[in-house]
Each structure stands twice: as C-alpha cells, then as structure tokens.
Structure 1
C-alpha cells in the first residue's frame, strides 16, 4: 500500500452522535418526522443529499436553508470542543510517517477544516475531500476516487479506513482495500462489513504492520 485514505466522521471524530442529536432536533423543530432508519440512511450522504432528505421528512424549509441551519449548529457545537475518537490522533501520526494520507469525508468543508485543525492533524494529510466537492456522496465511490486523484495514488494502491455501511461500500466501489473500524453505537450492516479487507477493533490496532498483505 502506498497511501491511506481516512473517513472523518465515526473514524477520527466521534461526531455521529452529535450529528444525530442536531439533525433530529432540527427535524422536530421544523415540522418533520424522524424515522427509525433515518440515522443509518443519513450516514455517508453529502450535504446536499441529506438536506434534501430532511426536506422529504417534512422539514418546511428549502434544502439549502436546512443545510445552512444544521451546519451552523454543528459548527457551534465544535466550538465547545471536537469529540475525537479514542486513538485517532496517534493512529494518523503513526501512518503519516510511512504512507501518503488522504481524507474522504461526507462532512462539509467547513467542518473538516475545523476538526483537523482542532486535532492538530491538518499537516498530516496531503489532500482532503468533502463529498460537497464531488457529484455523489457515499455509497458512490466519487469521494474516494477524488481523494486518490488529489494524492496522485492509484485507488488499488490505497487502503481506506471506514466505519459506516455507506462508507465501506463507497471505498470498496472505488477499488480500495477497506479496513473497517466499526463504531460501537452505529455498527455497519453485515453485508457492508463483508466488503472489508480487514476488521479492526479500534484505532489502536491500526499500525503500519496491520496494512501488510
């Protein structure tokens, strides 16, 4: 492997509970109805995709306004501190000395930059991609393919680190070897987990040795 492309939410930043809390409250406050499968469906969607979906749930606002309102609330929450996943900073720094690093995230660019800066990891990544910057969000491969292009490494020479069903499907569809680090609260579906090249219990297990074939 020449490169490692990380997901952000649920891998480096424990933001999924925050996203769920903020979006669930936003839906309730603006006339929508949160469904039992809403959170799992939202994971991996680009900003435009999830804003349109919340509108379909009955939120009485235009999708652009929904996106702006939710992201503003997320940014405000991040000002109180970015909730890093255990071992995330150490894992990135371990690999940064050995591999080219990229990032393919469904988060808006604004939140990607805030999170990496807060963690002191900005300089570790050769390139970062938000799915706002590509035609389709996860599970489509667009974000991972764009990340591979920006770091100038063929997808087949990249390993991706993911936690969610849509993320695993996205990286696999891009032709990368996928390491799954399942989130304890939001585990991936069995069929998505089956796409993983390796499954690790946590980021402490993500070492250069774990990437050897």
Structure 2
C-alpha cells in the first residue's frame, strides 16, 4: 500500500542538534553549580517547550520561571544556529527525494522560531506542505499530538503515513499516532533495542528510498 505522506522529525533526524540542546541546557545548570540528574537528557528529548522548561526548573533546579528557562535555552540555541547548523548526511537529499512522490511535513519538538530558521537554512521551505511544533499542540512527544496534527494539516490518515525519527520519545510519538516508523538511531543516546524492533532501522538517510517506504505499509 502506497503511503499518503512522509513526516520527518527535525532535531537529530535532519539536523545534528540534539547534542547542542544538551550542551546549552547543561550549561545553564553549570552556571548555578547544579548537578545534572541521571536520565535528565533522555527525559527531555521530545518534550514540548513548556514541558522541558518546567523540567529544568522542577527537576534540575534552575532558579528561573519556566518561561525564563525556556527563553535562556532558546537564545542559546539561536546563538548556535547563527554559527551554522550541522546537517546530517543525506538529510536534504532524502527530503527532496521523498517530496517528488509524497506530501512532506516536519513534526518537531523545537520552538517555531527554530523550526522556521532551520527550514530556511536547509532550503526546504518549498518542499514542505506543513510544519508542526509541539508548542502548538496539547502535549509533546511521546504523546501523539504533534504527529496527529501533521497528518491533519496534510489531510491524510495517520495510519497511511511514514514517520522518520531518531529518538525514543519521537519514535513513541509516531507509533502512538498510528504511523509506521523509520528510525535512524543516533550514537547520542540511541533508543532501546526493543523499541527499535518496532521500526524499520536505517544506518543513514541515504537508505530512505521510495521503494523502501512503499514496502512498509501492509496491503489492504
């Protein structure tokens, strides 16, 4: 069965920015001599801005309001973006390849301003039919809201969509939305093997081909 659309995650899937988020957030904690609790990095991957900013205040102990923690983090990320975004191998080519055959969306946990900046830097604007920030839905990843919103904006059945993801919470989000998931696991906190077993795992985005994605959905 042919897919109706392809939905890409951004951080860690198209852009090599997951580690940058970690550096910026840890830097804020270090400014106040705060320890970084075990599991904090993994817990925040996929959270919406409102969720991770509260986590920084409540779990890490940053002496700010959640809004201020978010502002300082996003300002730090914007500084890194101005220095240049590292694009993962084959990312732009994969989006272009898929866009020749399917509507394309991005469903990202990044704030809208960083999504828009990345799309502009990568030159993908004309290829995308929709972009979603989990700031714009009720709950971030692993909740399905962002992926469901992307399918809604594209006007397609989420069970007929292929999601391209890298991280645990993102994979769970897409699976919870009923999508078929292609995973390109990072070396930076890769998902557990039992979760990857529920996806089609690729080494890199060069392996994301039309023949592959059209083989993933069951016939009806």
Question: Aligning the two structures, in what range does the TM-score lie when normalised by the shorter sequence?
Answer: over 0.9
Aligned counterparts of 1:75 and 1:15: Cα–Cα separation in 2: 11
Q: Which runs of 5+ in 1 are unaligned?
A: none
Query: What does residue 142 of structure 2 align with?
Result: 139
With structure 2 as the length reference, what TM-score do the two structures score?
0.94
With structure 1 as the length reference, what TM-score do the two structures score?
0.97
Q: Describe the superposition over 1:68-103 as per-residue Cα deviations: whole angstroms up to 9, x where unpaired.
A: 010011011100101111110100000001011011
Query: What does residue 126 of structure 2 align with?
Result: 123
Q: Which runs of 5+ in 2 are unaligned?
A: 216-220
Is the contact between residue 31 and residue 58 of structure 1 (CA under 8 Å) also seen in structure 2? no
Is the contact between residue 166 and residue 192 of structure 1 (CA under 8 Å) also seen in structure 2? no
* C-alpha RMSD over aligned residues: 1.0
* CA displacement at 1:210 relative to structure 2: 1.1
Query: What does residue 208 of structure 1 align with?
Result: 210
Query: What does residue 153 of structure 1 align with?
Result: 156
1:4 to 3, 6, 21: 6
Runs of 4+ aligned residues of structure 1 deviating over 4 Å after TM superposition are: none
Q: What pairs with 1:192-203 in structure 2 (closer than 5 Å)? A: 192-196=195-199, 198-203=200-205
- SS of structure 2 residue aligned to 1:89: helix
Aligned counterparts of 1:136 and 1:35: Cα–Cα separation in 2: 23
Query: What does residue 191 of structure 1 align with?
Result: 194
Q: Describe the superposition over 1:145-193 as per-residue Cα deviations: whole angstroms up to 9, x where unpaired.
A: 0000001111011000000011110000000001111012221122321
Query: What does residue 20 of structure 1 align with?
Result: 22
- SS of structure 1 residue aligned to 2:182: strand
Aligned counterparts of 1:109 and 1:188: Cα–Cα separation in 2: 26
Q: Describe the superposition over 1:16-39 as per-residue Cα deviations: whole angstroms up to 9, x where unpaired.
A: 111111110011213532122111
Query: What does residue 39 of structure 1 align with?
Result: 41
Q: What pairs with 1:45-56 in structure 2 (closer than 5 Å)? A: 45-56=47-58
Q: What pairs with 1:69-108 in structure 2 (closer than 5 Å)? A: 69-108=72-111
Name the count of aligned residue pairs: 212
Aligned counterparts of 2:131 and 2:178: Cα–Cα separation in 1: 18
Q: Describe the superposition over 1:129-151 as per-residue Cα deviations: whole angstroms up to 9, x where unpaired.
A: 00000010000000000000001
Aligned counterparts of 1:140 and 1:32: Cα–Cα separation in 2: 29
Aligned counterparts of 2:17 and 2:7: Cα–Cα separation in 1: 18
Aligned counterparts of 1:32 and 1:107: Cα–Cα separation in 2: 24
